[in-house]
Amino acid sequence: MSDQINRVVLAYSGGLDTSVILKWLQQTYNCEVVTFTADLGQGEELAPARAKAELMGVKPEHIFIDDLREEFVRDYVFPMMRSNALYEGLYLLGTSIARPLIAKRQVEIAKLVGADAVSHGATGKGNDQVRFELGYYALAPDIKVIAPWREWDLTSRTALIAFAEQHQIPVPKDKRGESPFSTDANMLHTSSEGKVLEDPWDEVPDYVYSRTVNPEDAPNEPETITVDFERGDGVAINGVGMSPATLLETLNEMGRRHGIGRLDLVENRFVGMKSRGMYETPGGTIYHLAHRGIEQLTLDRGAAHLKDELAPRYAELIYNGFWFSPEREMLQAAIDHSQEKVSGTVRLKLYKGSVIVTGRKSPNSLYSEKVVTFEDDQGAYDQRDAAGFIKLNALRLRLLGRRDR
């Protein structure tokens, strides 16, 4: 890349890889690096990131460490959950939904510090590079993007570590040997992929799981909980009101304890290949089912079925990195419009890896015992109407049958 870069904002975790990137950027582009470390509830201490960045010469005022947990859950996870989106029928999109927020904040910082470029540590084979960069370009169309993994020649672990040592970047012991898999984590989930997971026939080894107990080790007694919703979003657990992030954290702890939310998946990446991953989404799995539970009672059929038809597309957009696209926003407008009355309480049972809805109630319930009852409904529903309903629904099939059968 021949363009002159003056200042670049790097999505910086403080780990080995992004530390190497930090140095490599300084060296390759002879530019000032600004680091941005997001707290999305990934469960790592972020303080060391500051010291490390300073050590590599980043100016104190160029080190950004932001707690984005509430924003993450409130403005990204919850809106997505309103759609009941599942990528390829099963995956709760834990990594995908975090990337746009990081990209957005990174661009904000770039504007703040007058940077002309942004950079990230995602590899050239994955979806994350796409998600980051589509976010950058949508929000800052003329920003320069540096993706070191697609540019440099540090293509092996050995080369990377050699570079680190050569530049006095501390290499943690567990990074020296081959890590048996790689992970990404945030408040919604932890994903693991690579190496020991690469053969999709091999069972995921126990040591890969970090966010949930093995269901077999979970309590022998089920736990019953309630989740309250208002306008489509969770607001309380067991009757105790909570902020979005606290609510998700609370469900995470419950899910962890009961071994809930493990998923072994072979999925289709946007870049065209299949990959095998393991996901742990303890709280998200409970939340997803709870949301469906409250919708069952409060959402009209027309709205519900339209949502179900739109959800795969919506999930695909998020997976592919199109959060900041007009079509995602259009779908969101439709989905959000449906959630106004999605309020009430859902009861769920957690037990050894499974979560089931056992009851739901709402002041906005559309369920009418009077209409549906097997007992005498005192005229709430006239069964003879069904005859006409069926006859007219059948009419085209009868005309067809007369022609074809």
Residues designated as active site = 17, 99, 128, 182
Binders of a copy of itself among 295-314, rule CB under 8 A?
Answer: 296-297, 299-309, 311-313
210 annotated binding-site participant: no
CB 281 within 8 A of CB 261: yes
CB 71 within 8 A of CB 46: no
Four-residue CA torsion sign, 40, 46, 52, 54: positive
Neighbours of 17 (CB within 10 A): 18
How many angstroms from the chain centroid is the CA of residue 314? 13
Nearer to a copy of itself, 172 or 379 (CB): 379
Neighbours of 213 (CB within 10 A): 18
Nearest distance from C-beta of residue 243 to a copy of itself, angstroms: 26
Measured in Å, how far apart are the chain's first and last C-alpha atoms?
A: 68
Binders of a copy of itself among 201-230, rule CB under 8 A?
Answer: 201-204, 215-216, 220, 222
- Residue 374 has φ and ψ, to the nearest 5°, of -75, -20
Question: Total residues at the site for a copy of itself (CB under 8 A)?
Answer: 132
Binders of a copy of itself among 272-291, rule CB under 8 A?
Answer: 272-276
CB 21 within 8 A of CB 119: yes
CB 134 within 8 A of CB 146: no
**Contact status: 173 vs a copy of itself (CB under 8 A):** no
Residue with tokens 């469900």: 251
**Contact status: 316 vs a copy of itself (CB under 8 A):** yes
Long-range contacts, stretch 173-180, CB < 8 angstroms, 24+ apart: 175/16, 180/207, 180/208
127 annotated binding-site participant: yes
Q: Which of 137, 209, 223, 236 binds a copy of itself (CB under 8 A)?
A: 137
Stretch that binds a copy of itself, among 54-62, 70-78, 240-248, 357-365 (CB under 8 A): 357-365
Binders of a copy of itself among 23-42, rule CB under 8 A?
Answer: none
Amino acid at 371: V
Binders of a copy of itself among 239-278, rule CB under 8 A?
Answer: 262-268, 271-276
Q: Please, what's the largest Cα pairwise distance for the chain? A: 85
Q: Which of 121, 244, 284, 353 binds a copy of itself (CB under 8 A)?
A: 353
Binders of a copy of itself among 372-391, rule CB under 8 A?
Answer: 372-376, 381-391
249 annotated binding-site participant: no
**Contact status: 236 vs a copy of itself (CB under 8 A):** no
14 annotated binding-site participant: yes
Q: Residues annotated in the binding site, as ranges?
A: 11-19, 38, 91, 96, 121, 123, 127-128, 131, 182, 191, 267, 279
Q: Residues annotated in the binding site for ATP, as ranges?
A: 11-19, 38, 121
